Structure 1
Amino acid sequence: MKTAVYPGSFDPVTLGHLDIIERSSKIFDKVIVTVMYNKSKKPMFDVDERVALLKTATEHIENVEVDQHEGLLIDYLKQNNLRILVKGLRAISDFEAEFQMASVNQKLCREIETTFIMTRTDYMYLSSSIVKEVASFGGDITNFVTPEVRDAIEQKVGGSNER
């Protein structure tokens, strides 16, 4: 059985993330979406909230599970005897950063393989940071996230944005 890990901060999970998750689920027997703790980011949602939002957003996909990890991704892979990573790419700048991380992961553990999936053009512009910024100014994020995620963001930023 081929199991892949799709790691990220998912703060919040966007339709772009869901695109990669859904497409990965058609390639691999199982996809574990792993919420990672990133010390350099100040999250809007804590890890448990992000896990809950991801579980709701992916409940329709049978071969997807959601997990979390604090620490090196390579340690998570080793602890769970996993060898395949999925990374979504939006632009050349994503490729450069992800290629560097894939190279480091390979250096740390030669058995690790990274699969890159290009996001659909509908979501090439989309990032969690953009969603949070638009929401913080009262903008409509309906086309960026699921309704449940939109509601959770609106609760965090206070008030309801026009739809």
Structure 2
Amino acid sequence: MGSKRIALYTGSFDPVTNGHVDVVRQACRIADTIIVAIGVHSSKAPVFSPEDRAAMLKAVCGPVAEREGANLEIATFDDLAVDTARRLGATVIVRGLRDGTDLDYEMQMAAMNSTMAPEVQTVFFPASPLVRPITATLVRQIAGMGGDVSAFVPGLVAERLKAKYTRR
């Protein structure tokens, strides 16, 4: 057997949604290790700290990776995804696609990444039908207005969002 395949999945994960978990599940089927990398950018004011997001990702995606026979690692990054991939030894960047709008954007990103790092392959996973409409932005908006987000995020995340927004 050859070297271990490491896949990188980047995002803000603020909050972790069922869509994110779906991509992790699919990625675990093509990689020995999936590294979920949380983008930390000073221009954004996230709902959850990087540490909180990492803890939630470990809690909800760890068991998924284990069931699929893959290792899960959590990291943070503040540079280009391809530079992060190189630094962490990933040869695959995984991305989820909900619709044609995602496809257009992700194809542009994949082409740019391929030019900068030809050794890193981008792989797209179509969103499963139940998670296709979910975006972290919509989840934040619904939670912020007191709505029930339990259909869109893992139970732990729904609890954390409810606690976060009832304190405000």
TM-score by length of 1: 0.92
Aligned equivalent of 1:6, options 6, 9, 13: 9
In 2, Cα distance between the equivalents of 1:2 and 1:50? 25
Does 2:137 align with 1:134? no
Does 2:20 align with 1:50? no
* Contact 2:22-2:127 at 8 Å conserved across structures: yes
1:112 maps to a residue whose letter is V
Partner of 2:120: 112
Tell me how far 1:95 sits from its aligned partner.
0.7
Partner of 2:72: 64
In 2, Cα distance between the equivalents of 1:75 and 1:89? 22
* Contact 2:5-2:31 at 8 Å conserved across structures: yes
Moved more, 97-106 or 40-49: 40-49
| Unmatched 5+ stretches in structure 1 | none
Moved more, 34-43 or 132-141: 34-43
Moved beyond 3 Å, runs of 4+? 38-41
Aligned equivalent of 1:77, options 61, 68, 85: 85
TM-score by length of 2: 0.89
1:14 maps to a residue whose letter is T
* Contact 2:7-2:90 at 8 Å conserved across structures: yes
In 2, Cα distance between the equivalents of 1:107 and 1:114? 12
In 1, Cα distance between the equivalents of 2:45 and 2:122? 27
SS in 2 for 1:99: helix
Tell me how far 1:42 sits from its aligned partner.
2.7
In 1, Cα distance between the equivalents of 2:41 and 2:129? 27
In 2, Cα distance between the equivalents of 1:97 and 1:129? 17
Cα offsets for 1:14-66 (capped at 9, x unmatched): 00110110121122111111111245533111211111110111121222221
In 2, Cα distance between the equivalents of 1:127 and 1:42? 17
In 2, Cα distance between the equivalents of 1:23 and 1:124? 14
In 2, Cα distance between the equivalents of 1:40 and 1:115? 28
1:25 maps to a residue whose letter is C
Q: Percent identity?
A: 32
Cα offsets for 1:101-154 (capped at 9, x unmatched): 111111111111100000001111100011111111111111111111111111
Q: How many residues are matched?
A: 159
